[in-house]
Amino acid sequence: MNIPPIQAIGAIQFTLPKQLQLSNQIPVYIFNDDKNPILKLDIVFDAGRWTEEQKLAADAMAALSKSGTKNLSSFEINEAIDQLGATLKIGTGYNTCTLSISCLSKFLEPCLELALTCLTDIVFPENELQIFKKNTKAKLLVNNEKTDYLSGVIFRETIFGKEHPYGYRTNNERIEQIDRNEIIRYYQSNLLASNCTVFIAGDVNENCLNQLESVLSRFKNTSVNNFKPQHIIQTDSNLKIREKKAKSTQASLTMGKILFNKQNKDYGNFILLNTIFGGYFGSRLMSNIREDKGLTYGIYSMLNPLKHDGFWAIYTDTNIDKLDICIQEIEIELDRLQNELISENEIQLARNYLLGRFLKRTDGAFNLMETFKSYIIEGVDIQHFGTFIEDIKNADAKLLQNLAQKYLSLNSMHQVIVG
């Protein structure tokens, strides 16, 4: 059998979107692909947990974003969406609130009308708020029995602080304190035409563009948001936290530190280093701790870039009686990165994997939109996409060793164990 030759990945081109502005100054980025009559549209607000005045207000607002208007019940809103064969949802993150629509292009206009209703007319009925609180408490009760969930949230609380939007934990007290008036205030002061950007991908024809203008130009600023968030990171001085869980035979480990986001000049090179260490199935952590030692079913490390910061962490679950040796092996691998040069073969393997990931992000309008959107949200010029690729292609063993010595010192890391 003749095996076709493996081709090296050449230049990766990122196709830039068409850009326009609606008459009410909302910017729109368009990734056109008319192969299928479908659309994905995201209206992204500069909001999320970062702009909360009351903890969990953003989550509550998003969860209740289809809870009813003066004239429509929650059931009627959802029924109207279902009849169009579409999905419409609002979700929040640390720095964003996003209304997402997936629909056939011929149904864009009625979907936009429903979206506008959700952005302007929701009254947040008190009974729906009480149902949300009850459901959130029930979900929290389940999550608090999961060691991996607890390890992750305690870790973020430890490195960012108990009051920071990147670090605060959901608990029953905060759930109970959610106030309808505060949700309405958050809704009215954050979901504004002056505070959003539209991203649309798929079969975006001229008719669709006219519908965007016709409907979304009616989205006006109903108030002014004068809240200026001031968030101070308060990292716990305790580098090792152990929370025991009764009857648990498994321990979940999260280990890492505050690091940086895509705006840092070392980002491209560091994600190559992270890939070698724990960023894919062929990584050192997986090869040693899973494949060779059999201490876990999975272990990985990840750089999590956020708009205003970023953090790097190792995540794994293991039997409690294997925990000490698992940590010891992680420390050995960290030491190797700092004191031994990585072989060119290992670098090339991880480089090819990463370049494949970057190539996938340019495959089609929907992937292009998601990638471009993440750069806009984090305030990073899309030209850095190409810069990161060049950094990955050109990094050598000495540069990667220097990065490991600079950023991955063991005595700078926080360790959280639950179980």
Domains, the chain, in order of start with CATH, read 18-216 (3.30.830.10), 240-418 (3.30.830.10)
CA 105 to CA 210: how far, in whole Å? 12
pLDDT value at residue 209:
97
Q: Which residues of 131-156 are buried (b: 16+ CB within 10 A; e: fewer)?
A: ebbeebeeebeeeeeebbebbbbbbb
CA torsion sign, 257 to 261 to 263 to 265? positive
What count of residues does the chain have?
419
CA 142 to CA 81: how far, in whole Å? 30
pLDDT value at residue 262:
97
Strands in 50-118 per DSSP E: 87-92, 96-104
Angle at 141 between CA 136 and CA 142, to 5 degrees: 100
pLDDT value at residue 7:
77
> How large is the angle between the packed helices 108-120 and 74-83, nearest 10 degrees?
160
CB within 8 A of 20, min separation 6: which ones?
A: 27, 28, 30, 209
pLDDT value at residue 402:
98
pLDDT value at residue 78:
96
pLDDT value at residue 305:
97
Residues of the chain with pLDDT under 70: 1, 223-224, 226
3-state secondary structure of 299: strand
Strands in 225-270 per DSSP E: 240-243, 250-258
pTM of the model: 0.94
